[in-house]
Structures are given as C-alpha cells and as structure tokens.
Amino acid sequence: MKSTAIFLLFTLCACTSCKKTVTTNTSTEQTTFPSDVIPFMDKFKILLGDGTREDNLVQYQDKKFFYTASDKEGDWVVYKTPNKGVTSPNSSNTRSELHEKREWIPSEGGYLTGTCKIQHVSTSGDPRVAASYSVVIGQIHGGEGHENEPIKIFYKKFPGHKKGSVFWNYEINTAGDDNAGRWDYSYPVWGYDFSIISQDSTQFPEEPAEGIELGEAFSYEINVKDGIMHVTFTSPSHATKYFTKNLVESEFTKIEDTPAQVQKIFWPIGQNGVERSEAYKGEKMYFKQGAYNQTNGKSPSKSMVWCAGADTYGGNIEKQYENGDYAEVWFKDSTIGLSKPIQK
C-alpha cells in the first residue's frame, strides 16, 4: 500500500502541464497558470518588473507582474510592469517580458505570433518625448554584437485619447564598434508612428482616427524566413497590414539614406549613425513578448526621445499601480517556433 501511494503521488506531481488544485478547509480552488493559457512557456524565461528572473515558467506565476485573468473572451496571460522598477543591465525601462531561450540567425529564421490587448499605459510622461505613454509588446533582440533590435512592436496612447497607435520600429545595426549613433525608423500600423510628438509639454497631438482602443484585441505575426522579416498585423475592425524588411542587406548604409523622420527626432540628440551593409546577417537573435514599459522617470533633459519624465514615486510599485503609472498587456493564442513558408 505504501509503495502504491508513493507511485500515485509521483504520477500526480509529474503532470506539470495540468492546472494546480489548492484545497483549504472550506473550499477547493483551481489555479490557472500562464502556462495553462499559452503552452509554449517552456520555450521562454522571464524578467519581471522588480528584477525577478525565472527560467522555468511551467506552473509559474507572480501576482504583481505575471498571472492570468479571464473575461468574456476567455483566459489571458497578464504582463504588468511599473514605470520604475528593476531594469536589465542595458536598459532604463522596466519589463515583465518573456525572453526566448533559443537563439537563431536571420538565415535560419524564427516565428512568433500573439493575440493581445493593451489594458493600460502610463498616464504620466512628457508628450514631447517619443517614448512617453508607450509599451513594447513584442520584439526581436540581438544576442551578440551591438545587441540591437530589428523589430520592436509598440502601442502608445496619449492621456485623454480613446484610441492609441500601433507601430513598429526597426533599429539599425550600427556600422563600426561605436553603437552610440544607432536610431529607430518607425512604421505606422494603425494610427501614428513613433515620431508623432507634441511641441508643448502641456498639450497632445490630435487623436489618431484609425487607432486601437484600450481593451481592443489585435494580433501580430513575425516570420523571419531566409533573412527576410515578414510582419503581419490583423484586427477584426481594421485593415490587415503587411510589411517586409531585409535583415541581411541594409538600405541605410550612407548618411544620405537617413529618413526624414529619423533626422527629425534622433539627429537632435546626436544619434546619426549608419548601418553596416549586411545589417543583422550572421548575428544571433531571439524573440521577446510581454510588457516592456517605455515610459520611465528619467528627465527629458537627458534625451528627448527616450527619457519620459513620468511619475515613479521613488520606485514604489504599489503607488505607481495606484496612480496609473504602469503598463499592462494581456495575451492569448500565442505561438513560437521555426520559420514558416511564405504564402504567395
């Protein structure tokens, strides 16, 4: 009997993909973990807004930053992070964001999808700063060299607006050893691109007519195939948008190739570099997904592009949550894997 009981206990514990049942004196409660909603969690590790790192995400959650919620559309994975917490070594911004364990090069390729809705972005910040009121919800990050980012998918909504903008940025892989001149070129999806800012710290641009509301679901697909990045955005109430970008042959190798948008916002802060001719060819990279809050508390005097001047309450996370100084993104129906054939 004793050996049978031990075997049954081992069998139950081995079922790590199952929801966990917690029994109390008065009731039995079933916990739904993020890995119950999105099964690919074993392909990722995570960094949370307080600096917590976790490599095993099967049956893992954190009630402040990474957990599940339900609504009429079903179960979602929640990523939540304040304007100021504990950041990664090379960033000024906090995140509750997945980090793919596998690394790959553009010629090998990779595939990531996500259906999401943004529930909140910071309500404080400086409207003259491009990064204010925004969150990155998916990206490809370089794993060597300058560790730049060939795609960052943003959602940004100005305070008082009903609709926000979805856009994605391509960061050049700077030529030479000095990465200080790197810049982003921004592609609008629905609404504005990254460069639309206010000229006055007390006013906002007009609301984007074709924007996305908080709580409105949409999907994206990133498919890197044979060195070419194919990006698709879909929404029930918006036109589908499709983009391609060569990741192994640059279009920004000369200073005269710099787009006017970049000259407008990056040149004034001294970021006026050029890209190496082979772009990201041969460099390792990986996917990230979740809530990478771009609204930080650093003074805009340090950078009118990246330093948002938002409220942070000395890094007190509870106060930031109470006062709207955080980002929150919900995901479901996400997938990750090898590149897919391109549909003609």
User: By C-alpha distance, which of 98, 109, 272 is closest to 185?
Assistant: 272
**Confidence at residue 36, expressed as pLDDT on a 0 to 100 scale:** 98
Report which residue type is found at 112.
Answer: L
**Confidence at residue 237, expressed as pLDDT on a 0 to 100 scale:** 95
**Confidence at residue 26, expressed as pLDDT on a 0 to 100 scale:** 46
**Confidence at residue 92, expressed as pLDDT on a 0 to 100 scale:** 84
**Confidence at residue 3, expressed as pLDDT on a 0 to 100 scale:** 43
Q: How far apart are CA 175 and CA 168, in angstroms?
A: 22
**Confidence at residue 251, expressed as pLDDT on a 0 to 100 scale:** 98
User: By C-alpha distance, which of 273, 299, 341 is closest to 129?
Assistant: 299
**Confidence at residue 19, expressed as pLDDT on a 0 to 100 scale:** 57
**Confidence at residue 217, expressed as pLDDT on a 0 to 100 scale:** 98
| Domains, in order of start, for the chain | 39-337 (2.60.120.200)
**Confidence at residue 29, expressed as pLDDT on a 0 to 100 scale:** 67
pLDDT tens per residue across all 344 residues of the chain: 444 443 333 333 334 444 554 433 444 468 999 999 999 999 999 999 999 999 999 999 999 999 999 999 999 999 999 999 998 877 889 999 999 999 999 999 999 999 999 999 999 999 999 999 999 999 999 999 999 999 999 999 999 999 999 999 999 999 999 999 999 999 999 999 999 999 999 999 999 999 999 999 999 999 999 999 999 999 999 999 999 999 999 999 999 999 999 999 999 999 999 999 999 999 999 999 999 999 999 999 999 999 999 999 999 999 999 999 999 999 999 999 999 999 86
**Confidence at residue 13, expressed as pLDDT on a 0 to 100 scale:** 39
Model pTM score:
0.92
**Confidence at residue 91, expressed as pLDDT on a 0 to 100 scale:** 86
